[in-house]
């Protein structure tokens, strides 16, 4: 067994990740992280959970839903502690996605610049509108953002 004394209480995890205790409980409930229990019934988290939660926070700031993130995290091994190459596999997909986003924003910026230059008044018909047109509505609730889904590193371009 792993050294028990190195396991963390939920408050410690909250402090190290900057998340609220309630948020961490919620993330466990929806299966984004897991914990063991002490005899008292208190949750005990493995230290690698901090890394996992940090990843979640970054992804969220990029606009991914928790479902998207869970999908990504599912490539990490369940039984053993994720190692360097596990995390690197995740990160590569991440970089691909970032590149797409950057390219998308740059395109939008150019279009917008063009629009300012030409002063066109029919935004609805101009290129700018069409540039942002692809990622339309995806059901109810808060809308998704730039780009619909995260790029999975394993998936080829088809």
Residues that bind a second copy in the complex, under the rule CB under 8 A: 16-18, 20, 50-51, 53-55, 57-58, 60-63, 83-84, 87-88, 91-92, 94-95, 98-99, 101-102, 105-106, 108-109, 112-113, 115-116, 119, 121-124, 128-129, 132-133, 135-137, 142-143, 145-146
| Ramachandran area for residue 44 (φ above 0: left; ψ -120 to 50: alpha; else beta) | beta
Helix-strand-coil split of the chain, %, nearest 5: 50, 5, 45
With binding defined as CB under 7 A, does residue 100 bind DNA? no
Interface residue with DNA among 18, 34, 36, 42 (CB under 7 A) is: 42
Strands 43-44 and 36-37: antiparallel
With binding defined as CB under 7 A, does residue 40 bind DNA? yes
The burial of 62, by beta-carbon neighbours within 10 Å (0-12 exposed, 13-18 middle, 19 or more buried), is given as: middle
Q: What are phi and psi of 19, to 5 degrees?
A: -90, 160
Comparing CB distances to a second copy, the nearer of 42 and 99 is 99
CA dist., res. 19 & res. 72, Å (int): 20
With binding defined as CB under 7 A, does residue 85 bind DNA? no
Q: Which residues are near DNA by CB under 7 A?
A: 9-12, 14, 20-23, 25-27, 38-43, 60, 65-67, 137, 139-143
């Amino acid at each position: 067994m792993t050294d028990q004394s190195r396991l963390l209480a939920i408050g410690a995890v909250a402090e190290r990740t900057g998340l609220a205790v309630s948020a961490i409980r919620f993330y466990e409930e929806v299966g984004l992280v897991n914990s063991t229990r002490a005899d008292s019934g208190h949750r005990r988290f493995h230290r690698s959970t901090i890394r996992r939660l940090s990843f979640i926070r970054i992804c969220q700031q990029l606009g991914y839903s928790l479902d998207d993130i869970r999908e990504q995290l599912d490539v990490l091994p369940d039984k053993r502690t994720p190692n360097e190459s596990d995390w690197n596999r995740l990160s590569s997909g991440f970089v691909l996605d970032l590149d797409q986003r950057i390219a998308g924003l740059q395109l939008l910026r150019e279009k917008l610049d063009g629009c300012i230059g030409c002063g066109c008044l029919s935004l609805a018909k101009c290129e700018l509108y069409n540039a942002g047109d692809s990622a339309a509505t995806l059901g109810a609730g808060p809308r998704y953002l730039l780009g619909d889904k995260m790029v999975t590193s394993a998936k080829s371009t088809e």
